[in-house]
Amino acid sequence: MDNRELITEINRLKTEKNAIIMAHYYTRPEVQDIADFVGDSLALAQVAAKTDADIILFAGVNFMAETAKILSPKKKVLIPVLEASCSLADSCPAVEFKKFVEKYPDHIVVSYVNTSVGVKALTDIVCTSSNAIKVINSIDPNKPIIFGPDRNLGNYIKTITGRDMKIWDGCCHVHERFSEKLIEELRNKYPMAKVVAHPECKKSVLNVADFVGSTAAILDFVKKDSAVEFIVATESGILHKMYEECKDKKFIPAPPEGDARNCNDCDYMKMVTLENILETLKNETPEISLDQEIIERAKLPIVRMLELS
């Protein structure tokens, strides 16, 4: 089947089965184009909590589909590739995180949404990159905080809020690869360009950025800012929406260093294709299935976050 035929068949099945397709900004352009909703991880969780579709097909990575299942446990939540994990979530196994939490018993546990259900079940309140500062500021100022798993986001919000925070030493393989040296080299080539960066980037990269924010916040910034050129230090999938929404601006992907010099893709997000979306919708599998008890424990910290947003 060519793309046109795949899209026609996906749309037909979507209507027949009352399914909604949700996609993250890092997925392939053609996947974003057939989605009913494209957003950052906070917006995706908000939509998943409210949708009246019978089936949620989650075009994204595992933890995002799990979050949708936790928020809508009665719905069928499908994910085209069960193995589409997240290096950041994988850098924080629940068993190890439990030991870390037990070392600091009087701390409030804040976890980034990029975590397994097991980690969420050990958490007091979840956050995403777009509301992390708000979540931290909502906590009693006298309480020390455990933050996991992203050390870069953790250190960034620790600097901004000045809070006492113990930070798990995890990172995302995509954002960790950006280098301030290569960004500065690009800046010499595009002197008028503004640098936008996701807070999962290293401190040295955030230091040279004109704007730091979640995927949705970056998108909003480039739309409203008067600059016409931007160097983008986050996963390259976001460029699709940037060009769609700002047709007369130029977006230059920041190059990662090392072997991956020409590729700042999230391999996991890119596993989702039109072909596997169609197969998944047709067969209604793979499906996210979670134990009811873990759903109950992981739901509370996510609901606390949603109540703040």
Residues in contact with ligand SF4 by CB under 6 A are 26, 61, 86-88, 114, 172-174, 235, 266, 268-269
Closest-CA residue to 39 (of 51, 27, 50, 52): 27
Of the two residues 53 and 58, which places its CB atom closer to ligand SF4 in the complex? Answer: 58
User: What distance in Å separates the CA atoms of residue 271 and residue 166, rounded to the nearest whole number?
Assistant: 34
For residue 87, the partner it binds in ligand SF4, ligand 13P, none, with Cβ less than 5 to 8 A by kind, is ligand SF4
User: What distance in Å separates the CA atoms of residue 113 and residue 126, rounded to the nearest whole number?
Assistant: 6
SS3 59: strand
Q: For residues 144-203, which are near ligand 13P according to CB under 6 A?
A: 172, 198, 200
**How many amino acids of this chain bind ligand 13P (CB under 6 A)?**
11
Of the two residues 53 and 149, which places its CB atom closer to ligand SF4 in the complex? Answer: 149
We find the least distance from the C-beta atom of residue 288 to ligand 13P, in angstroms, to be 17
Of the two residues 124 and 200, which places its CB atom closer to ligand SF4 in the complex? Answer: 200
Query: Quick one: CA torsion of 152, 306, 195, 236, rounded to 10 degrees?
Result: 90
Which one among 62, 129, 152, 280 touches ligand 13P, defined by CB under 6 A? 129
Instruction: Kindly give, in sequence order, each residue whose CB lies less than 8 Å from that of residue 232, ignoring residues fewer than 6 positions away.
Output: 196, 218, 238, 239, 242, 251, 252, 253, 254
Of the two residues 14 and 120, which places its CB atom closer to ligand 13P in the complex? Answer: 120
DSSP 80-96: S-TT---HHHHTS-HHH
We find the least distance from the C-beta atom of residue 15 to ligand 13P, in angstroms, to be 28
For residue 214, the partner it binds in ligand 13P, ligand SF4, none, with Cβ less than 5 to 8 A by kind, is ligand 13P
62 binds ligand 13P (CB under 6 A): no
Of the two residues 114 and 131, which places its CB atom closer to ligand SF4 in the complex? Answer: 114
We find the least distance from the C-beta atom of residue 61 to ligand 13P, in angstroms, to be 7
Q: For residues 91-120, which are near ligand 13P according to CB under 6 A?
A: 114
For residue 40, the partner it binds in ligand 13P, ligand SF4, none, with Cβ less than 5 to 8 A by kind, is ligand 13P
Task: Indicate the angle between helix axes 62-71 and 292-308, nearest 10 degrees.
Answer: 90
Q: Check: CB of residue 69 under 8 Å from CB of residue 295.
A: yes
For residue 297, the partner it binds in ligand SF4, ligand 13P, none, with Cβ less than 5 to 8 A by kind, is none
Of the two residues 45 and 182, which places its CB atom closer to ligand 13P in the complex? Answer: 45
User: What distance in Å separates the CA atoms of residue 235 and residue 95, rounded to the nearest whole number?
Assistant: 29
Q: What is the largest CA-CA distance in the chain?
A: 60
Which one among 27, 41, 72, 280 touches ligand 13P, defined by CB under 6 A? 41
Determine how many CB atoms are found less than 10 A away from the CB of residue 298: 28
We find the least distance from the C-beta atom of residue 284 to ligand 13P, in angstroms, to be 26
For residue 201, the partner it binds in ligand 13P, ligand SF4, none, with Cβ less than 5 to 8 A by kind, is none
The token pair at 109 is: 């546990």
Specify the stretch interacting with ligand 13P by CB under 6 A; choose among 45-53, 124-132, 239-247, 278-286: 124-132
Task: Indicate the angle between helix axes 274-283 and 3-17, nearest 10 degrees.
Answer: 30
Closest-CA residue to 292 (of 69, 28, 65): 69
Strands (E), the chain: 19-24, 37-39, 55-59, 76-78, 108-112, 125-127, 145-148, 165-167, 194-197, 211-212, 229-233, 250-253
Contacts to ligand 13P by CB under 6 A: 40-41, 114, 128-130, 172, 198, 200, 214-215
